[in-house]
Amino acid sequence: MKEHQEANNGIAPNTNKARLKLIIILAIPAVIENFFQTVLGFVDTYFVSKISLSAVSAVGVTNAILAIYFALFMAIGVASNVRIANFLGANLPEKARHISQQSIVIAILFGLFTGVLTLIFAEPLLKLMGIKSDVLELGALYFRIVGIPSIFMSLMFVLSAILRGAGDTKSPMYVSIIINILNAILDYVLIFGLLFIPEMGIIGVGLATVISRLIGSLLLLYFINKSKVLAFRRDYWKPDKVHLLELTTLGAPAAGERLLMRAGQIVYFGFIVALGTNAFAAHQIASNVEVFSYMTGYGFATAATILVGQQIGAGRYDEAKRYAKLSTFLGLGLMTLLGVMLFFLGDWAGSFFTQDDAVIKDIGTALKISGVFQPFLAILLILTGAFQGANNTKFPMYLTAIGMWAIRTVLVYVLAITLEWGLAGVWIAIGIDIVFRSIVLVVRFQRNKWMALEKGPEPEAYCHPQTTKENMSACANNY
């Protein structure tokens, strides 16, 4: 981590080889973390598929609703990640520490809010998906188990983002490995029963997930408090309007982007449900297999956000663009290879989840189509991370709105329902949206219209309101 420490201290690598090494140092732990997070969904889907296809659909529909929660939590994480990277790049460690704790406060509040929302509105939210009564019953049960304690989801997202913003991608990786191994063990024990523990079915899936997230949150809190840069200060827990405004201003567009994406998914998920339970189950299984390819894209997007954010904070804008380009090229090459694997191994992967030949065929078709679009997905994910690192969360939001609602959702209906292409039509529509947005981001990036360099508050704005004029200079210097 020597290269990253030097970058934090204002010493920028001066060769592409050194820059690539730094990107890889940050990206690989993030890729591994994403891999184990993906394994969580993969293992859950595998065990749930042994219960019934209705259970697979119940978990899939519930996760589509939970994805809206994730959008809120991830937006807080994006804002804290970027601001922490900016502040450390500008050599303002106390601002980084302060805003990290304010992020945790917001994460707790959002987690409590979504928990109450789940408790009261579980069934009405699931009914919006148009699911059948047998799936609704299972879905509501699972939804309440994992959604009421959603504070642990919120903390997992935000605490991991805080560490990554400080350039620590290893600690979230370690936590991800631990909780996914724990989740796999708990899945088996709680779903099927062992010794004195009864068979719990879908209830066991939910309990395993919640317990794993609880342990993960505690471990991430430990790593943050252990950090020299981010260790908690008691006086930083009080809500601070300046930092809260910063997080809200940067996070709101990121939340808007993800909410637009998730809302669109709910609409076209309804179209997929109309294709039948088996078609939706095939879509859900294919999505859980395909998401393995996302881990590479998100890993390099994480590196891009951190490094671009630090260079922006230090005022090295040309260097920020170099890191964005190099991160994209690396991720593009790796995700192209993964696309080839999806194309040729899709049917084989589907056979792990079901013995239904029609469902396996649908899974294979979906993954072949996904494989073709992987290079464009790499560009979309990584450049979005670079835009966010450059404090530009608004443009990705606008682009997502157009792509999701004017292209993806419309084409899913036209291709899958009207033209009766079935699940293949769904995945082609998704791919067309990905191509459109990736091209627009590249054009915007090439025209140097990807940074948002608004002037932030003066350092004195972060000082305590009762700070005297005599002490104001010393306070500002600490920032």
Between 145 and 72, the higher pLDDT residue: 145
Q: What is the mean predicted confidence (pLDDT) over 76-104?
A: 86
Distances (CA, A) of 293 to 37, 243, 434: 12, 35, 14
Average pLDDT of the residues of the chain: 82
Residue corresponding to tokens 């939910």: 206
Please report which confidence band the pLDDT of residue 131 belongs to, taking 50, 70 and 90 as the band edges: low
Distances (CA, A) of 17 to 299, 362, 413: 19, 43, 47
- 31-68 b/e (C-beta count within 10 Å ≥ 16 → b): bbbbbbbbbbbbbbbbbbbebbbbbbbbbbbbbbbbbb
Residue 443: Cβ-neighbour burial (10 angstroms; 0-12, 13-18, 19+): exposed
Predicted local confidence at residue 321, as pLDDT: 92
Domain ranges in the chain are 2-463
Taking phi first (over 0 means left), then psi (-120 to 50 degrees means alpha), and beta for anything else, what does residue 12 get?
A: beta
What share of residues in the chain are helix, strand, coil (percent, to 5)? 80, 0, 15
Between 69 and 36, the higher pLDDT residue: 69
Does 324 have pLDDT greater than 90?
yes
Q: What is the mean predicted confidence (pLDDT) over 129-154?
A: 82
Say how far apart CA 391 and CA 246 lie, in whole Å: 11
Instruction: Note the pLDDT tens digit of each residue in 421-442.
Output: 988 899 999 999 999 999 999 9
Predicted local confidence at residue 294, as pLDDT: 80
CA 399 to chain CA mean position, Å: 18
Please report which confidence band the pLDDT of residue 38 belongs to, taking 50, 70 and 90 as the band edges: low
Instruction: Note the pLDDT tens digit of each residue in 198-244.
Output: 777 778 888 888 999 999 999 999 999 988 888 888 878 887 777 77
Q: What is the mean predicted confidence (pLDDT) over 164-180?
A: 88
Does 343 have pLDDT greater than 60?
yes
Q: Rounded to the nearest 5°, which phi and psi values hold at 200?
A: -110, -10
Predicted local confidence at residue 175, as pLDDT: 92
Sign of CA dihedral 435, 436, 440, 443: positive
Instruction: Note the pLDDT tens digit of each residue in 399-416.
Output: 999 999 999 999 999 998
Please report which confidence band the pLDDT of residue 476 belongs to, taking 50, 70 and 90 as the band edges: very low
- Whether the Cβ atoms of residue 349 and residue 289 lie closer than 8 Å to each other: yes
Predicted local confidence at residue 42, as pLDDT: 65
Instruction: Note the pLDDT tens digit of each residue in 263-311.
Output: 787 788 788 888 887 888 888 888 878 877 788 888 899 899 999 988 8
Between 250 and 13, the higher pLDDT residue: 250
391 SS3 class? coil
Predicted local confidence at residue 447, as pLDDT: 92
